[in-house]
Amino acid sequence: MPKVSIILPTYNGQAYIEEAIISILNQTFRDFELIVVDDCSTDHTPKVLDFFKLQDSRIKIITNKKNLKLPASLNVGHRIAQGDYLTWTSDDNILHINFVERLVKVLETNIEDVVYSDFNIINNQDKYIRVYKTSPVSLLPFKNGIGASFMYRKEVFQKLNYNEALHGIEDYDFWVRVANSFKFKHLSEVLYSYRIHENSLTTEIGRNEAAKEAFDNNLMVVLKNFKMFKPETRKMLFQFQRESYWEWKYFFNVRKTAELDFEKWNKFNGNNTNFFKEHYIKTLRNLLVNKGDRRTVGRLILLKPSLLSYKYSTRTSLNILKKIFI
């Protein structure tokens, strides 16, 4: 029977950490260790942790001597992990009761090194918002679509730990580097609940200019890990992800080079070409609507007639044209 290590980094997580820990302790799969890394919390988090540690011998508490931030705390927890399979979660999120059992079963019965699943989005009152459908690994150049519900073999972390300089985007960076060496398996089940609230990092990036600037700088670092892409392709990917920087002139100058790089990427990733093609076309279509003038629309449609026809009815295509030109 394999053993699992669950790493739980926390900093001032008193609002939700009790619920997070209970969701871990209630797992149907019982042979795990829970490694909580407290990054110098100043609220009541340490008291909550002490209470749970007395209740369950599977819990280990590590207290950092100074505030290290999330990526470093992840490395601290992973390095002492004894499990064959590893995962980590946040102090404000919830593991569904069969989370560990289902992911372990996939790793035990398949050759892939990473398994990930879909998950729910919830609010600060545990209210369901929607299901987040994770995306194929082939779409990693466009977005971090692996998400929050995952597990991987210990060898994955042993080869590639978390970049401690990339706070706020360390998971995306990790998945991009992992995708260069390991294989992923997607599980079409909802096994996790990811919480959106006013103090979450996702919210902070959206409302704080300094956080947004730091995120943009870190994103450029992450995209450099697509080693098979030329620098101009990586710059175009940055513009795809951060639409406010989009430049059509640059796109037309580097399009051919980028699309050759995309062909190599899709070949490397196997059978996800259709997913990639569909996302690429939809992204360009949205940019035309949001950023394109009539001249740009005409030029791009001549180059890629599929922008109007790919997986759309004639009526829908005509409606897109009307939206652009009227």
Listed by start position, the domains of the chain span 4-205, 228-325
d(CA 148, CA 143): 14
pLDDT at 269: 83
Q: Does the pLDDT of residue 319 top 90, yes or no?
A: no
CATH class of 4-205: alpha beta
Q: Residue 87: phi, psi to the nearest 5?
A: -150, 165
d(CA 173, CA 257): 23
Q: Does the pLDDT of residue 202 top 90, yes or no?
A: no
- Average pLDDT, rounded, for the chain: 92
Give 243-279 pLDDT, tens digit per residue.
999 999 999 999 999 999 999 999 888 766 788 988 9
pTM over 0.85: yes
Q: What is the mean pLDDT of residues 191-202?
A: 82
CA separation (Å) from 198 to 10, 15, 92, 201, 209?
17, 12, 12, 9, 16
